Amino acid sequence: MSPDFSRYPAVKKSGGTIVASTNKTVFISGSARNIGRAIALRLARDGFNIIVNGSRDRDACERVAAEVKRAGVDAMVVMGNVGSSADVRAMAKNALERFGRVDALVNNAAIRPQKKLLEMSDDDWDQVISVDLNGAFYLSRAFLPGMVDAGWGRIVNMAGMNAIHGYAGRAPVSAAKHGVWGLTKALGKEFAPAGITTNVISPGPIRPEETDSEHAEHIRSQLSRIPVGRLGEASEIAAMVSLLCSAEGGFICSQMIAVNGGTET
């Protein structure tokens, strides 16, 4: 099935080449800080309108939205828990009312608690699966109809090293991120004929913001495992998202892309 680009004002064909305008819109879950914030700022420079999402810290989300607007594009903040189907429906409704369509989706929100399996309650397990796996499903389901109707779309999921390794003390995170990898492959096969690519990025140890002290200590402990000899930067993950969301990234689909400085997988 060939996408009908005549129905989509933001994308047209010129001499067989896809030419994208700079007026696309992207929803980025978990975009108040760290990798999510870096992705928002990079895609804003690429010309995307940005929908900033967080579940608790609205002030941090508003600061990102203000930074985005300084790049010359539009931005809005939608607060909600991506692990809640009702919250996602409400956020999607607000986003579509504001922008008319969402052309790209970055499923970045995640929680990564450390807890031994035999000490874990049902709620401990369900909370991680809801945010880390169900959230990607809920958001994809919310925005895919518009992408299908448009004949163009991009979905980028975040998996982390948990999608490659199984980690002691993080059983639900590892299970959820393996699930995201499976979801990515399935969506790629189902929706690529409609002009929509789906890929997943597995970041290696990335230098966190200094305010995240507990997580920062864990990340720095991984330095000896990285052949390039340094932690990654959030901007380097954002650069890969930029490629995958671009017209030039249109032949990359259903792939797991490790951006990890050569860390053993």
- Contact in structure between 235 and 35 (CB atoms under 8 Å): no
Q: Within a domain: residue 17?
A: no
- Please, what's the b/e burial string for 75-97 (b: 16 or more CB within 10 A of its CB; e: otherwise)? bbbbbbbbbbbebbeebbebbbe
In a domain, 11, yes or no: no
143 lies in which domain range? 22-259
Please write the tens of the pLDDT for every residue from 103-138: 999 999 999 888 999 999 999 999 999 999 999 999
Determine how many CB atoms are found less than 10 A away from the CB of residue 193.
Answer: 11
User: For residue 230, what are the contacts with CB-CB under 8 A and spacing of at least 6?
Assistant: 223, 261
Mean pLDDT value of segment 10-21: 39
Mean pLDDT over 224-236 rounds to 91
Mean pLDDT of 133-146: 98
Q: Is residue 264 part of a domain?
A: no
In this structure, what are the phi and psi dihedrals at residue 126, rounded to the nearest 5 degrees?
-65, -35
CA count, 13 A, side-chain hemisphere, 253: 18
pLDDT of residue 8: 37
**Residue 75 lies inside a defined structural domain of this protein:** yes
Q: Indicate the average pLDDT of the chain.
A: 88
pTM exceeds 0.75: yes
Alpha carbon distance 261, 205 (integer Å): 9
Q: How many domains does the chain have?
A: 1
The pLDDT of 189-217, averaged and rounded, is 84
> Each residue of 88-101: pLDDT tens digit?
999 999 999 999 99
Q: Residue 186's domain is classified under what CATH number?
A: 3.40.50.720
CA angle at residue 263 from 262 to 265, to 5 degrees?
110
pLDDT, tens digit (0-9, with 9 covering 90-100), for 160-200: 776 677 778 889 999 999 999 999 999 999 999 999 999 99
Instruction: Judge whether 16 lies within some domain.
Output: no
Q: Is residue 12 part of a domain?
A: no
- What is the structure's pLDDT at 245? 98
d(CA 165, CA 123): 23
Residue 14 is assigned to a structural domain of this protein: no
Give the pLDDT mean for 207-217.
Answer: 65
Q: Is position 144 within any domain?
A: yes
**Cβ atoms 43, 239 nearer than 8 A:** no
HSE (CB half, 13 Å, CA atoms) of 6?
1
What Cα–Cα distance (Å) separates residue 192 from each residue in 39, 121, 195, 197, 199?
23, 39, 5, 5, 11
* Residue 169, pLDDT score: 81
